[in-house]
Every structure is written in C-alpha cells, then in structure tokens.
Amino acid sequence: MKYSFIIPTLNEEKLLPILLEQFVESDILHKFNCELIISDGGSVDSTVEIAKKYTSKIVVHNSNNRQTIAEGRNNGAKLALGDILIFIDGDIFFENLFKFMRKVDNVFKNKNYLAMTCFINIHPNESTFSDKVFLNFYNWYFRILNNSGVGMGRGECQIIPKKIFDEIGGYNQKLVAGEDFDLFKRIRKKGKILFDKNIVIYESPRRYRKYGHSTIFFSWMLNAISVIFKNKSISQEWEEVR
C-alpha cells in the first residue's frame, strides 16, 4: 500500500521546513512507502524553494485569482500515486509521526473505515489554558458528530482512500471555508469515519492569537451551517495569517 501526503501551502517558509524535517528524521517515506506532494497557492516567499529540497512533486498555482484551499488540495491529489491520501496543512507538527503512520497503516489495511482523522491540539510549549479548553471541546464535539452519523473533520488532517476521494469528486473547490466539513459529510453518507483520539497533530496557534477563540468559533459555526443549508461559505476569502 502506498501513501500520499498532500500539503497545500501559501507563504509558509517559516513553518513548512519544521514539518518536512520530521519526514527526513523519521525516514517515514521509506518505512511506509510514502510520497510528499506540495500544492502551492502562489507563494511570494521561499516556500517553493524550500519544498524542492524535500520533494520533486510540486504543483504551483500561477493564475492571478487566488485559489481556494480546496482547489489546492485537489490539485495535489491529481499528482498522487498513493492508495491513501493524507491531507495535512503546512503549519502542523506531528506529536509522533511513526505512531501516526503505524495507526493509519493498520486502519486502512483492515478496510473498516472510509476515512480517518485525529485530535488537533496546540503544542504544549505554546498552548494556553484557553487553547486547551477550546480545542478539547472541538475535538470531542467532532468525534461525537462522526460517531452519530454526521461527518466532521478539520483540514489539518483528513485521510481518505484515493478511490473514495475520486468517487465523491474530491473537495468542493467553490467553498472558501468549510470544505473539510463538506468532504467528510459526503463521505459519512457512504460509510464510517474514524476519529482517533490516540494520535495527535499540533497546529500553529497564530490564528487564535490574532482573532481569539470566540471569533474563530463563530466563523467555523456560521460557515458550517451555510455549507449544510446553502452549499456555500459565509467567508468570501480565507485571510492569510502568518
């Protein structure tokens, strides 16, 4: 079985190398037959040059219009040779990449689930009490929704067999936000999604620091409701925070 890590980027020169070094240090690409794919949204910093040090599979958005992250993920998926697509963001950090891949490998070899995700937290060195309360609530809330039949997951980590991804048409490229929820909502109608609480990915706290947890919460909720009932996002453009 082959795995494709697909990472959409936009001006991620600061955090992307930290993520990519984890693949080098752990030798995961060889141990689990993985490939790295970078789908860049048109970075004006050194993101693409950094990515070239780690992989030759890079697609760059060259149009004048800004692409949605859904489009970036879909473009990356077009290059994928893997049986399993692992979508992650360029600002994340694995708690334990080997443990993560061992779990993913076991789950999809058993073929009991159509998709998989995990807990998303902020690294203990950067996490505040508010971060812990907010993300703990959201992690368990999403897990309960998945178990009750409503697909829910965040784009920081969404793992899907390529066959299933292609069958449902990938991410909805028209959605500026909520594309991750929309994808899992459609997959959940076909079968079960595993929300694994035993593996963790850390995300950057930068968006929470700029806007605060309350603003982020209401933005997520409004976009999710709009996707459910109108099949479109409330957000007109997802602001870049670096």
Q: For 117-164, write each residue's pLDDT tens digit.
A: 999 999 999 999 999 999 998 899 888 888 888 888 888 999 999 999
Q: Is the pLDDT of residue 1 over 80?
A: yes
Residue 236 pLDDT level (bands cut at 50, 70, 90): low
Q: Sorting pLDDT into bands at 50, 70 and 90, what band is 238?
A: low
- Asked whether 15 and 241 are in contact (CB, 8 A), the reply is no
Coil, helix or strand at residue 16: helix
| Domain spanning 3-230: CATH 3.90.550.10 | yes
- pLDDT score at 111: 83
Q: How far is the C-alpha of 103 from the C-alpha of 118, rounded, in Å?
A: 11
For residue 32, the Cα-to-chain-centroid distance in whole angstroms is 19
Is the pLDDT at 235 greater than 90, yes or no?
Answer: no
Question: pLDDT class for 66, splitting at 50, 70, 90?
Answer: confident
Distance CA 38, CA 184 (A): 22
Q: Among residues of the chain, what percentage have pLDDT more than 90?
A: 73
What secondary structure does DSSP assign to 121-166, as a single string?
E--TTT--HHHHHHHHHHHHHHHHHHHTT-----TTEEEEEHHHHH
The pLDDT of residue 74 is above 90: yes
Mean pLDDT for the chain? Answer: 92
pLDDT at 45 over 90: yes
Strand partners, 9: 40
11 sits in the region (left: phi over 0; alpha: psi -120 to 50; else beta) called: left
Distance from C-alpha of 20 to C-alpha of 56, rounded to nearest angstrom: 13
Encoding tokens for residue 184?
């899992």
Domain ranges across the chain: 3-230
pLDDT given at position 32 = 95
Over residues 64-75, the mean pLDDT reads 92
Query: In the predicted model, is pLDDT for residue 106 greater than 80?
Result: yes
The neighbour count for residue 39, using CB atoms within 10 Å, is 28
Taking each continuous run of H as one helix and of E as one strand, the counts in the chain are 10, 8
Measuring CA to CA, which residue among 114, 109, 124 is closest to residue 200? Answer: 124
The set of residues, in sequence order, having a beta carbon less than 8 Å from that of 229 and lying 6+ positions away, is none
Q: What is the mean pLDDT of residues 36-63?
A: 96
Q: Residue range 43-58: average pLDDT?
A: 97
Kindly state the tokens that stand for 23.
Answer: 């693949």
The first and second tokens of residue 92, run together, are 């994340």
Mean per-residue pLDDT for 38-55? 97
First CA to last CA distance, the chain = 36
